[in-house]
Structure 1
């Protein structure tokens, strides 16, 4: 019997089918019945892929129309008051995306990944009750296809840990209200089959938890594991070690533990405790977060090490986490360099790797059939080739990075800002945007046609410049004060730069879900990184030539490029980041020498790269701050450096943000009022701040009055001299009919506020 296990599987579809049907539905071009039909077809196909690959333990309820945490809110009836009058899909998508009457729920990063989850809003007044229809229906759906699935759930402790209380108090106080709903759920599930595996994901256990959180584990899982004799519970953790929780869980009646042995190497230290219990160990040894081909020899050695402590019969071979974080399949990658492609493995290929590893580990090489034996040979050959390939190593890059000595800017912030204000002459509450404007169908088509060599470079540039002209004309009409060129030439804020840097490779179809229908296609960093020529200067200087107002140059920072790429695993991440930083410092120098006075270096993913364990944070902050400062070290004192950060709780990293020494930071605060901003006041933050005044992830248009209220809230925290006014993120995903009135209202709100406070 196969002992192969997958934590979870991508749901967006191998050709982004779910994305397309959802966006058609939101645009009112199809019914929700068509969305459900497509979703059912995807689930059927995804289950079949896993079964055909020989995977024994396949998930149901890992599928979602938007987000599994949002699904759990529906499961528990954890519905914010402002949505209580809605039902079914209108309720679900309003919670995720907002509607004309109500703002959406907050989103934030799922641990240290680039996936975003909907943050539950919970209250003592909530009336929790079970809605298990989705879970039950999907299990039955799979069973009708002849596939008996394990059922995936977000665990109660993780759900509470990821939630926020409406009154800002401790979410764990609601444990006694939530846990009975989970018990009721398991009773319902127990009716579905004679024996069931329920995988309860508790990734919150990999963080540094207080004793009050750890104290909830045993009573929770003593109860849940005893609900029904025919349910076997697997508690799954990933992205780090969970030793404190494991010590408790081995003394509960659960069936097994799924542990990540790639990103949580310290899980190896707890194996004896597992061995002395009766628990199954689901060993995460195939990387669920990266795209490199598994090194079968290395993984077998790791499994052998594990089996020295835990008996083989109690081990299952698994992905390290859900394969949600990897692209779907290599089958459509027919333009990739063949050598680089041979080093890659997406979700579908990882299924084969898990099956192959399982067979080798439990039955030996002699058990392989002819196809599997060839797959093993290809795996060994590809991994050996990658270690020695001349594509990877560039001695000139290594030498330049090793001898780089300028690690910070000239002059202090206080000296720089005085020079900048005299030169740039911007008003208090200066208005700007974060960078991108809507990527229209025409823009995307022109970019695609140029890439496919269906139009000439001249025609492509003509169309892009026409769009830039239109963006500038609108901004001038709107009376924004610091302009952007709109970024029509950029497919993605990381991919665009990676395409122009040596050491990066690009896919046709390596799409990964970021949130809802939003997908990103991260580049692959496979080798040493350098900048052969200027990347943005021509576009930005063209835009500046079309206006007398200040035009911001727009770059993506080194840490974000790193965190939003699939990064080579044969070199330390901090070394890769430093290579990117050195390349960006040259770009900033070229921009300012071309007359660009403000340059924004976005570090949208700075926070998400944080280690999950406090013991590792200082090292990350040290090199991440170093590399931002290397990037901007070439900037003259009069060149104003902006940065932008997404979805961040800043309380714990405010000193690090200060150390980055940007002149202006813009942040996402629209969904949280002025709460995030208060920490800037508490620490006496000196630099200027652009808190987002409206949420760009929702299609709703904020009114002038609403925006004035938001700005007044900001002014309660910081003085007008320190504040910039902007949306909370780029406008790439929005439509012009939303953007135009929203920005006009924003500018009008600022005008009225300025009059009121003069």
Structure 2
């Protein structure tokens, strides 16, 4: 028979139970024991749900209280010295200190680990830190504990571990430059011990995820894979290893992978369908192949008949006992259950599948292969009809949008003057001091704001009363910023639920769920919009609020927009046309908004693009094409203004070194970036490249619940001044402040302004 499997299930709970429990634990309203019990209940629910669906192979250890990479660091004892770990089990206090930092702790505040994007997704992981003399030791038996937990419920799972090679490649070295793969010999004994314990506990298979296989790997990494899996196969205690790749094809690693002593290999046949023929031709007959044919990254319903036809050669060529049908990757990246979305447009709803429905699709495919297509004829017909209806729907296509796209010229994506000329004109217009201070855009979304938004959404608060409430909040925020001494203000974004959702709700072609939450990091969940059709802007989106804020002060107030690439990247995007074409549609809609903001007297407009680096293809050969259209779309949105209007952008938690030419080509007047967690390390890319425009290197980490001292931020600004011309430097936090409280924000920003004054005085 052909087996069916899942690689990972969303851990957050359909009602965001994990978020609520974790934040209650942080606030002291929930004990550690209660948090652990809540997590146990979520795991049990997920296992039972998947078992009831008919899946043959159910994952365990896909659950995390915060992040699976952090879990791996804890498992292998890779705990930086600053967290005071002295061996033995890692406490929950230490775990969350690594994740979030600490405030007010004896001995001083502790910073969080650096955070960055998980490959080309909007999920963020905590970056492991390695020293040259790094030692590893088993410090958590979580994979074994959760396997036994499921087994006690009568469910034998396939435990999931992040593979050792990917784990090392995802980390950063501290104290000295060296190849982290050099640590592999000392890491492997810990992995071997975990595998042996799993085998002793009764596990038959283990899933070792090596997403690095989707990257361009050099000889050193290829050798590391051989070393790692040779050692683990020998020390596994008879456990079968399913080597799991996803987010792309195996590429140049195919030959290496097929020679590894593993029992199974998972292929992403959504991102890289073309690799199936090559693998079938070269794979040993005894190798179990797991075919990732249901899209684990997007929400569109599968075309089941087409999938069955596509994998028919594999079914014909292989022993079916050595075939597994699965999603392309973990379902961590999609919402949990479409059945909760009763208010969605019925047509759109019929085109979608969330995690629960994707598991059902896997089991339908398994039944079709094992029992024949007639056994699931109704399901196959429903799939075919949904695909056909979506393809022909009038809700998708807008002739006016197509006509406008055809009218775009190259000059529309260019500012009228070079930055050096614009800088002089903007300085005369804005009259800002050296080291000007600002924030990234959002201010605390207090409980009163959330209650008012909810009351308005439910019809309990009238439109006029809600607008009056928002104006009072904006005026209070403007006055606070003036009192703190910020040079360029923002309106606070109190009317906005999310930086993508707020705009998507006002653009045609986007639809929104009520319960479609997806984890971005920790307890930060987002509801990505479903971008299903042609995009246009029916009316202005931000002008009224921004203009009102500007009317309250003589200081410049930035208009705040989310950029076209980020709106694309952080949505579930239609797959019936190129991403480039969809992005150009969004760019034209934003171009209209930028023009209207300028017309309303807004002299600085920030177009955030934190997802530009995230969208970079994993294979270098595809970079140029992507960067060309991504840069073009940003410039298309930003370039319809006069020289006097200052265009800002913001990027966070990304590695910029390889794309500096593209960032420079975006030609934003000011770019703000995250640099506090890395202590200005991320600024190195801009200084090595000699970035010509202005830069706001973040001087404090807003995700950590701590107030940085003036001296700490002054030191960071002095580091920046050693690398940049003082005229280039802006002073700002790492990111928006919506998740913090005013009690945290006011003293931190006051310290930031004082730090700017100190370096300003010193520079003078």
Whether 2:528 is the aligned partner of 1:522: answer yes
Range moving further from structure 2, 743-752 or 443-452? 443-452
Whether 2:127 is the aligned partner of 1:124: answer no
Q: CA deviation at 1:90?
A: 0.5
Whether 2:28 is the aligned partner of 1:19: answer no
Whether 2:358 is the aligned partner of 1:350: answer yes
SS in 1 for 2:57: coil
Whether 2:98 is the aligned partner of 1:95: answer yes
- Which residue of 483, 508, 513 corresponds with 1:507? 513
2:555 & 2:603 partners in 1: Cα distance? 11
2:498 & 2:619 partners in 1: Cα distance? 30
- Which residue of 132, 136, 147 corresponds with 1:139? 147
**Which residue number in structure 1 is paired with residue 469 of structure 2?**
463
**Which residue number in structure 2 is paired with residue 377 of structure 1?**
381
**Which residue number in structure 1 is paired with residue 184 of structure 2?**
175
**Which residue number in structure 2 is paired with residue 719 of structure 1?**
725
Whether 2:567 is the aligned partner of 1:561: answer yes
**Which residue number in structure 2 is paired with residue 572 of structure 1?**
578
Q: Residues 320-469 of structure 1 correspond to what in structure 2 (within 5 A)? A: 320-368=328-376, 373-405=377-409, 406-469=412-475
2:278 & 2:729 partners in 1: Cα distance? 50
SS in 2 for 1:643: strand
Q: CA deviation at 1:677?
A: 1.2
SS in 2 for 1:235: strand
1:236 & 1:413 partners in 2: Cα distance? 47
Q: Is the 8 A contact 1:643 1:666 kept in 2?
A: yes
Q: Is the 8 A contact 1:238 1:264 kept in 2?
A: no
- Which residue of 181, 188, 191 corresponds with 2:197? 188
Q: Residues 586-665 of structure 1 correspond to what in structure 2 (within 5 A)? A: 586-665=592-671
- Which residue of 524, 533, 548 corresponds with 1:542? 548
Q: CA deviation at 1:131?
A: 2.7
Q: Is the 8 A contact 2:73 2:128 kept in 1?
A: yes
Q: Is the 8 A contact 2:233 2:261 kept in 1?
A: yes
Q: Residues 730-741 of structure 1 correspond to what in structure 2 (within 5 A)? A: 730-741=736-747
1:315 & 1:207 partners in 2: Cα distance? 25
1:508 & 1:54 partners in 2: Cα distance? 28
Count, aligned residues: 753
SS in 2 for 1:608: coil
1:701 & 1:2 partners in 2: Cα distance? 56
**Which residue number in structure 2 is paired with residue 319 of structure 1?**
327
SS in 1 for 2:535: strand
Task: Write out per-residue CA displacement over residues 588-626 of structure 1, whole angstroms, 9 at most, x where no aligned residue.
Answer: 000000100000000011100000001110100010001
Q: Is the 8 A contact 1:2 1:56 kept in 2?
A: no
SS in 2 for 1:348: helix
**Which residue number in structure 2 is paired with residue 681 of structure 1?**
687
Whether 2:173 is the aligned partner of 1:148: answer no
Whether 2:242 is the aligned partner of 1:234: answer yes
Q: Is the 8 A contact 2:558 2:603 kept in 1?
A: yes
2:588 & 2:319 partners in 1: Cα distance? 49
SS in 2 for 1:10: coil
**Which residue number in structure 2 is paired with residue 749 of structure 1?**
755
SS in 1 for 2:647: strand
For the aligned residue pairs, the C-alpha RMSD in angstroms reads: 1.3
1:493 & 1:65 partners in 2: Cα distance? 25
Q: Residues 70-81 of structure 1 correspond to what in structure 2 (within 5 A)? A: 70-81=70-81
Q: CA deviation at 1:256?
A: 0.3
2:280 & 2:292 partners in 1: Cα distance? 17
Stretches of structure 2 that go unaligned for 5 or more consecutive residues are: 104-108
Q: Is the 8 A contact 1:480 1:747 kept in 2?
A: yes
Q: CA deviation at 1:445?
A: 1.5
Q: 1:171 to 1:579 in 2, by over 3 A?
A: same
Q: 1:237 to 1:20 in 2, by over 3 A?
A: same
Q: CA deviation at 1:132?
A: 4.1
SS in 2 for 1:665: strand
Range moving further from structure 2, 154-163 or 210-219? 210-219
Q: Is the 8 A contact 1:105 1:118 kept in 2?
A: yes
Whether 2:249 is the aligned partner of 1:249: answer no
1:301 & 1:161 partners in 2: Cα distance? 37
1:678 & 1:437 partners in 2: Cα distance? 29
2:313 & 2:535 partners in 1: Cα distance? 35
Whether 2:482 is the aligned partner of 1:494: answer no
Q: Is the 8 A contact 1:198 1:234 kept in 2?
A: yes
1:85 & 1:51 partners in 2: Cα distance? 39
Q: CA deviation at 1:274?
A: 4.6
SS in 1 for 2:559: strand
1:267 & 1:5 partners in 2: Cα distance? 20
2:226 & 2:394 partners in 1: Cα distance? 53
Q: CA deviation at 1:190?
A: 1.5
1:635 & 1:424 partners in 2: Cα distance? 16
2:735 & 2:719 partners in 1: Cα distance? 19
Q: Is the 8 A contact 1:108 1:648 kept in 2?
A: yes
SS in 2 for 1:670: coil
SS in 2 for 1:596: coil
1:140 & 1:165 partners in 2: Cα distance? 35
Whether 2:488 is the aligned partner of 1:482: answer yes
2:85 & 2:43 partners in 1: Cα distance? 30
Q: Is the 8 A contact 1:243 1:270 kept in 2?
A: no
Q: CA deviation at 1:208?
A: 0.4
2:569 & 2:248 partners in 1: Cα distance? 17
**Which residue number in structure 2 is paired with residue 204 of structure 1?**
212
1:24 & 1:452 partners in 2: Cα distance? 26
